[in-house]
Amino acid sequence: MTAIGERLPRKEDSRLLRGLGRFCDDQDRAGQVWMRVVRSPIAHGRLVSVRKPGNAASGSVVTAEDLPPGVRIPVRLNVQGIDLTDHLQPVLAAGEVRYVGEPVAVVIADDPYEAEDIAERVEVEIDELPVTVDTAAGTLAAEFELGYGDVASAFAQAAHVVGIEFDIGRHSAVPLEPRALLADVDPATGALQIFGMTKVPVFNRDVLAGMLGIDEHLIHVHAMDTGGGFGVRGEFYPEDFLVGWLARKLRRPVKWVEDRAEHLVAVNHSRQQHHVISAAFDENGTLLGLKDDVLHDNGAYARTHGIIVPELTLAMLPGPYRVPAFHGRIRVMLTNKTPCGTYRAPGRFEGTSVREQLFDVAADRMGVDRVELRRRNLLTADELPHTRAMSTLGTDVVLDSGDYVGLLDKAVVEADRLGYQSQLESLRARGHTAGLGVAVFLEKSGLGPQETADVVVGTSGEVRVHSGGTSLGQGIETVLAQVTADALTVDPAVVTVVNGDTVLQPFGGGSWASRSTVVGGSAVHKAALAVRERAIQLAARMLEVSEDDLDVTAGAIGVKGAPGTSVSYAEVAKAARPGSPHLRDDEPAGLSARRRFEVEHMTYPYGVHFALVDVDTGTGHVKVLRYLVAYEVGRAINPTLVEGQLLGGVAQGVGGALLEEFRYDDAGQPQAVTFMDYRMPTAAELPHVDILVAQDAPAPGNPLGVKGAGEGGVTAAGASIAGAIRDALSLTGPVGRLPMTAERVRGLIEEGT
């Protein structure tokens, strides 16, 4: 019996669906004060003065002058040896403001209404400076190249060279719950309890400790429920420093809850890139080389993600294809807009959109079927593992395992079986402007370098797991319970998983980069196996038999072939208490184990998306009628949760493909600052999503054989929908940009290309 592979209902749901979740804004502490951030209303200017209102209490307004000098938010992930020190964001602006929404001061008050009233009356005097909105006109913060092979000769000997330009719009994650933080302080020691840092709590704890100049053990970050993360939530932002610093300074708990209007200008934006991409093919449509020149708009500063989005864009651009020569150059530009970071499938949503649109254009131009062109150029199963002479996130790019062609064929058969092609034909026969898009993509997951887990068995037989992942709504508690239950042969119901508490698990790496199940799950697996071994060891002493004579079934350790002669985990746990005759002098008490899983390389899942759209030629409206995701996950610990991840990703992908965009006017004023203007798709805009989860290519690099499932629903949504629109409108060129808003589609209908 194994719990792995079961469609177990989410353990999280019994509390979340009953309203018993524990979110940051549910927390209050006696004597707490509320923080409100005063933000720049100007996109670029010299900060002349910040004056607190006449009737405000002293100390109730804090500016950069009150902070330790020069405090800036450090980069979490340094890559490609590029130094971004000059471009880091200060906690509060000093001297200059660089985007609308930049924190210039904070207000402290006893309740949030009062804080907002005072904040409104803080007078911020700014001498306006010229504003840069256009990416190309920005300041160059970094430039680098990635690639391999002889691209020049590939293009020189090509029978066909096809190039396009493509823009990806600025959009980002908008989790249901905006950011929220509560810092409680022990007045005697200055120790902090922090609630609401849910993503990379150990990292954030260490950054805060470093900035405050205290030992990390004086900070305890608690595990919390969180209404979604998607990359943006839980990174270290100015507010993460401010609550802790203020709590220690005021010796009072400090609470801050971001409102939606703040969120849309303050949280990391993402995606905005301009690509000039071209591919060289021989006379048979075989790829000889690929090159891409990218302008990446990073907004006003480099934040915690540094340049990993640009890096991933290039490193993942060749995707699942056989690309003999590749060259990518990217210029990271700073503009007077909200700074950028990662958003679910960072770099891959962008690169996949552009590459797949290029292949669609190329297929038409060479007179080759779109699917056939892809099939011809996908790496075959026997070409894997495949190493590309590039690095990303500090790891070498080694495509570990898979059958890309096999999955494409499966997806084509499934789409046919579900009637995608026949529905397309019937729509067209009835005069509809309908189109079908197809896109193939490569994902990455399971970034190391390590994850640590503790598995502890209580004397009632309940099992607790202290993992370094975090619960962002993805169901990781359930998945880790299944992994634990599998190794111990117990019911997942007796397993409780605590994620992201820095005292219980001080070496956690957090949940991001589709790593929790792969790396966190493997650590839990190792720790659970160690507990099982320890239980066998103790059971052998209890039963006075040799360990070799024991095995574990259904949660009981018993003598092989002698039913009835067994002890339970609960009994073993009792036998492991101090004073037990079964415990030796040099052994620690308790039935528990801490294990670390280390990994050098990522594992690369992959997939195929199909989108069937119907375009209203009068309004330009694109209705996504049907959507298919085929995705290779190695091994699905819980297929329902894998499907849930993919489904949610599609929803966000539809948003990025058709609706969501952070626009700015010429003065750098953000134009999407409410849900009226920042248009996330609702259930009404989403089709039923067909999902095919494949488990044909287990990951060789981890004991569970799993590949990450967090991002594959969004990765190719821009690509497949762009392809479907292009197909519907019978364009010869590319659609040119995302999101394809109704207005842009209507424009294409008029102009055509």
State the residues that interact with another protein by CB under 8 A. 112-113, 116-117, 120, 259-261, 618-621, 658-659, 663, 671-672, 674, 676-677, 679, 681-682, 684-685, 741-743, 746-747, 750
Choose between 438 and 728: whose C-beta lies nearer to another protein: 728
Whose Cβ is closer to another protein: residue 179's or residue 275's? Answer: 179
Residue placing its CB nearer to another protein in the complex, 449 or 747: 747
The partner residues of 329 in beta bridges, in order of sequence, read 145, 293
Give the whole-angstrom CA distance, residue 236 versus residue 455.
29
Which CB sits closer to another protein, 347 or 739? Answer: 739
In the complex with another protein, the residue whose CB is nearer, 276 or 742, is 742
- In whole angstroms, the minimum distance from the beta carbon of 651 to another protein comes to 13
Long-range contact pairs involving 573-579 (C-beta distance under 8 Å, separation at least 24) = 573/457, 573/458, 573/459, 573/461, 574/459, 575/538, 575/541, 575/542, 576/534, 576/538, 577/459
Q: Which residues contact 495 (CB under 8 A, 6 or more apart)?
A: 462, 463, 464, 465, 480, 481, 484, 485
Nearer to another protein, 49 or 55 (CB): 55
Cα-based torsion angle of the residue sequence 224, 230, 231, 233 in order, rounded to the nearest 10 degrees: -40
Minimum CB distance to another protein, residue 235 (Å): 22
User: 77 or 742: whose CB is closer to another protein?
Assistant: 742
Minimal distance, residue 666 CB to another protein, in Å = 13
Q: Are the C-beta atoms of residues 494 and 461 closer than 8 Å to each other? A: yes
CA dist., res. 75 & res. 79, Å (int): 10
Q: First CA to last CA across the chain, in angstroms?
A: 59
Which residue's CB is nearer to another protein, number 127 or number 743? 743
Nearest-approach distance from CB 695 to another protein, in angstroms:
36
Query: From CA 675, how far away is CA 456, in angstroms rounded?
Result: 45
User: Least distance (Å) from another protein to the CB of residue 120?
Assistant: 7
For another protein, the closer CB: 619 or 732: 619
- Please, are residues 495 and 484 in contact by the beta-carbon 8 Å criterion? yes
Nearest distance from residue 34's CB to another protein, in Å? 11
Q: How far is the CB of 746 from another protein (least distance, A)?
A: 6
Judged by DSSP in three states, 695 sits in coil
- Shortest reach from residue 648's CB to another protein, in Å: 18
The nearer residue to another protein, 36 or 87, going by C-beta atoms, is 36
Going from the C-alpha of 340 to that of each of 140, 204, 296, 392, 658, the distances in angstroms are 15, 18, 10, 18, 20
> Using CA atoms, how far apart are residues 752 and 224, in angstroms rounded to an integer?
51
Give every CB contact of residue 484 below 8 A, 6+ residues apart in sequence: 455, 463, 465, 490, 492, 495, 497, 524, 525, 528
Can you tell me the distance from the alpha carbon of 654 to that of 634, in angstroms, rounded to the nearest whole number? 26
Nearest approach in angstroms of CB 659 to another protein is: 6
* Residue 227 vs residues 178, 199, 471, 710: alpha-carbon distances, Å: 8, 12, 9, 15
CB of 751 to another protein, least distance (A): 12
Q: CB–CB of 301/340 below 8 Å?
A: no
